[in-house]
Chain A
Amino acid sequence: MSQLTISPSPHIHSKDSTTSLMRDVVIALLPAVICSFIFYGWREILVMGVSVASCVLLEWVITKYLLKKPSTIADLSAVVTGVLLGLNLPYTTPWWVVFIGAVVAIGVAKMTFGGIGQNIWNPALVGRVFLLVSFPTYMTTWKQPQGLFGLDAVSGPTPLGAIQEGLLSGASVQDLTAAYNYRDLLFANLGGSAGEVCALALLAGFVYLCIRKVIKPWITLSIFATVALTALIFWGVNPARFTGPVFNLLTGGLILGACFMATDYVTSPMSLWGGVIFGVGIGFLTMMIRYFGSYPEGVSFAILIMNSVVPLLNRWFHQKKFGRK
């Protein structure tokens, strides 16, 4: 000891850091990433690689040369955005389209607002939605994949897409959903972007995050509950026109969105009740878009719309204060 250090209390800190939390999110996403590699093969690896690499590179370039601030890539948040964007794209997406998605996600949705913690909308979702409206052909075309280990996995349109098309041509929901069984839905084997296809792997990651106390389950559970309830009501009234609760829970990007996108710290409410209302809003809007919208899938839009309401929810809902009414 040569010199005493003086600082105010507390003098110790928990082991949590932004980096450790983001590392946990990456770990939680790994099962889904590995599944997608197995199902879709080297092209999915390419999509994921380009997505993660460009997100990290773009954040580094922007902080260093445009903002002239210390780089923030060590906090791993750009990696999380990259993995989420990768999981949100079909494995057939050309590398340059993935790169444009990364530019929009990191460059526009994250860094223009001031970087980590400042953005209003989930960066990966902004990137995905931008690509969806700008390059619809790439984003909705599904080809026969060549999985790793010769695993013959997926073909055809997504279940939600197939049903919307089928309904337009006059078929009933019962006939259309007969093609899917729930085991397939749980274990993937269906058309969709990488992260839409393996429900179990995603749910395992979600449970990991809850156990590690990285996130709390309320937002996710209220999304699932609202989706199930809304679907139950509509399906109960007209099963020929509307798909049912289990089908809606297991298809599309719902699980990925509810577990990993809606729970993004920066773009979700801080308080318990704010989070529940946020989740109910996402669940309800998702079902409205699925049932009545022109897109077959609505999770991304629903989350982005509810992201916009978060500042209001944070203003309206507060913690219960000690000893105050």
Chain B
Amino acid sequence: MSKNTFSIGGVHPHDSKISRGCAIEQLPLAPTVYLQLSQHIGAPAKPIVAVGDKVKVGQPIAEPGGFVSAFIHSSVSGTVKSIAPRPDLAGIPQMCIEIAVEGDEWAPGIDLSDTLVTAIPEDNKAIVEKIRLAGVVGLGGATFPTHVKLSPPPGSKCEMIIINGCECEPYLTSDFRVLMEKGEQVVVGAAILSQVMGGVPCTIAIEVNKPEAIAHMEEVIGKLGYKGISVMPMKMRYPQGSEKQLIDAVMHRQVGSGALPISVGAVVQNVGTALAVYDAVQKNKPLVDNTLSVTGECFPRQANLLVRVGTPIKYIIDYLGGVPEDAVKVISGGPMMGKAIANLEASTLKGTSAILFLTAKQTLRAPESGCIRCGKCADACPMGLEPFLLQRLARANDMEALEQNAAQDCIECGCCLYSCPAHIPLLDIIRQAKGAVLGAIRARAAAAKAAAEAK
């Protein structure tokens, strides 16, 4: 049993990987897709097509709106029908490009064959540019543009690439299936990333509840023969796949408050991202599809699907038999950090990892009772915070004390609320407080900058 894990807090929810045996299937094309212009962290992309234009699969249809932003490519071939706001998963209007699907014609230059390309181009700058042009973003949840992560600020040095294959969220199995079925591509992707960062070692972190994936990846690495790539089995513990926690677990280094992983010499990329990097660099294929799990005990037709970005959620669910009778909540992502879907008409994004159905018994919250000061929330917090204290300070609106007690460090993993025996909505309250504290910190920094410039 592996002992590799992070040093503070964490919880052990049942892993519920019930869709682990489902091989990845290709979802038939939807009649219409809707590509949201803001599906990455940073500035929304700017459309470069007009209504009525004919587009092909993999053709860029929106360009980055800033340095931290990403290209968006058409995931289908067809006609641009509209560029207009459309309610997203939460029901909030977001600019979308609507494309009516006609056939499946790919843009020229994209290699759609299954041949594994193992020879990596030498020019690192060209590689990063290819990744940027392919619209690759982090697929582990944060959807941070990958080319930005691969361009560390001057003065910082990467010492290790960590490929995040923990998949510590219960239910999710898409990364597991990718490791099992596209392990070679992931390893080539990892080798590309390691070369770009200066030939640093690369660790593929996989939790021990996926022993097949650990064995398979070790075999693939041995077969492909790249230097410096290794698999690290991790103890099962949530939130191991969180960037800061994973760096702590693998490198025994803690990223400081408000700092980036590169400050301790780490760059973390998700398994899906490594695959997207392979596709972009070796196959010229932009990020137009991703693998997601459709799962839940109440959902009879479990699946891991390869889905074109922008496919309506409802189309996916209907393809698999519709929303089950006893499901009360449909979640985009895992049960710990995923978002409850308010609008099934909304479409998938690059970073959508799962559609999860939960029953009333599984998900409805018990009524809140009084805090019994058991300290289970503080034991569970992977950031070493004291949620019981933060929620009290938040209810008292004591901004100064909230900042002193590091409310801004909260990673919103949900361990506190998960473990609270009194069912106090700790994270709900702390999340709001964190937003306010971060706002105050930013305002202060902006004021200080303005004052410095005025001198």
By a beta-carbon cutoff of 8 Å, the part of chain A in contact with chain B is 1, 3-14, 16-18, 20-21, 72, 75, 77, 114-118, 265-266, 270-271, 318-324
Chain B residues with CB under 8 A of A14:
11, 13, 418-419
Residue of A nearest to B341 (CB): A4
Pairwise interchain contact B427-A319, C-beta atoms closer than 8 A: no
Pairwise interchain contact B372-A13, C-beta atoms closer than 8 A: no
The answer to the question of B115 belonging to the interface, with a C-beta cut-off of 8 Å to chain A, is: no
Residue of A nearest to B16 (CB): A12
Pairwise interchain contact B327-A265, C-beta atoms closer than 8 A: no
Of B344, B365, B370, B386, the contact of A319 (CB 8 Å cutoff): B386
Q: Which B2-49 residues have a C-beta within 8 angstroms of A?
A: 8, 11, 13
**Nearest CB of A to B2, in Å:** 21
Pairwise interchain contact B338-A9, C-beta atoms closer than 8 A: yes
Pairwise interchain contact B384-A321, C-beta atoms closer than 8 A: yes
Pairwise interchain contact A5-B363, C-beta atoms closer than 8 A: yes
Cα A7 to Cα B360 in complex, Å, equals 13
Pairwise interchain contact A319-B385, C-beta atoms closer than 8 A: yes
In the complex, given contacts A13-B418, A116-B372, what are 17 additional A-B residue pairs having Cβ atoms less than 8 angstroms apart?
A: A1-B326, A4-B340, A9-B336, A9-B339, A10-B427, A11-B363, A14-B11, A17-B422, A75-B369, A115-B370, A116-B370, A117-B373, A117-B422, A321-B257, A321-B385, A322-B384, A324-B384
Pairwise interchain contact A265-B385, C-beta atoms closer than 8 A: no
The answer to the question of B414 belonging to the interface, with a C-beta cut-off of 8 Å to chain A, is: yes
By a beta-carbon cutoff of 8 Å, the part of chain B in contact with chain A is 8, 11, 13, 90, 170, 244, 248, 254-257, 259, 323-331, 335-342, 344, 358, 362-366, 369-376, 378, 381-386, 388, 405-406, 409, 412, 414, 417-419, 421-423, 427-428, 431
**Nearest CB of B to A322, in Å:** 4
**Nearest CB of B to A323, in Å:** 4
Pairwise interchain contact B385-A21, C-beta atoms closer than 8 A: no
Residue of A nearest to B11 (CB): A14
Cα A115 to Cα B427 in complex, Å, equals 24
Q: Is the interface of B mostly helix, strand, loop or mixed?
A: loop
Residue of A nearest to B367 (CB): A70
Of B362, B363, B406, B414, the contact of A324 (CB 8 Å cutoff): B406
Pairwise interchain contact B423-A11, C-beta atoms closer than 8 A: no
Cα A13 to Cα B425 in complex, Å, equals 11
Cα A1 to Cα B259 in complex, Å, equals 44
Pairwise interchain contact A322-B383, C-beta atoms closer than 8 A: yes
Cα A119 to Cα B19 in complex, Å, equals 47
Q: Contacts A17-B366, A320-B8, A321-B385: A11 and B358 contacting too (C-beta < 8 A)? A: yes
Pairwise interchain contact A4-B329, C-beta atoms closer than 8 A: yes
Pairwise interchain contact A323-B244, C-beta atoms closer than 8 A: yes
Of A4, A6, A9, the contact of B412 (CB 8 Å cutoff): A9
Q: What would be 17 A-B contacts, judged by CB atoms less than 8 Å apart?
A: A5-B328, A6-B342, A9-B336, A9-B340, A9-B414, A10-B418, A11-B329, A12-B336, A14-B11, A17-B422, A18-B421, A20-B421, A21-B421, A117-B373, A265-B373, A319-B385, A322-B254
Q: Contacts A13-B417, A14-B11, A16-B419: A322 and B340 contacting too (C-beta < 8 A)? A: no
Q: Contacts A265-B375, A320-B384: A5 and B419 contacting too (C-beta < 8 A)? A: no
Of A7, A75, A321, the contact of B383 (CB 8 Å cutoff): A321
Chain A residues with CB under 8 A of B362:
11-12
**Nearest CB of B to A148, in Å:** 35
Pairwise interchain contact A5-B370, C-beta atoms closer than 8 A: no
Pairwise interchain contact B431-A322, C-beta atoms closer than 8 A: no
Pairwise interchain contact B358-A12, C-beta atoms closer than 8 A: yes
Residue of B nearest to A10 (CB): B414
**Nearest CB of B to A312, in Å:** 14
Chain A residues with CB under 8 A of B248:
322
Pairwise interchain contact A322-B374, C-beta atoms closer than 8 A: no
Chain B residues with CB under 8 A of A8:
340, 427-428, 431
Chain A residues with CB under 8 A of B423:
13, 17
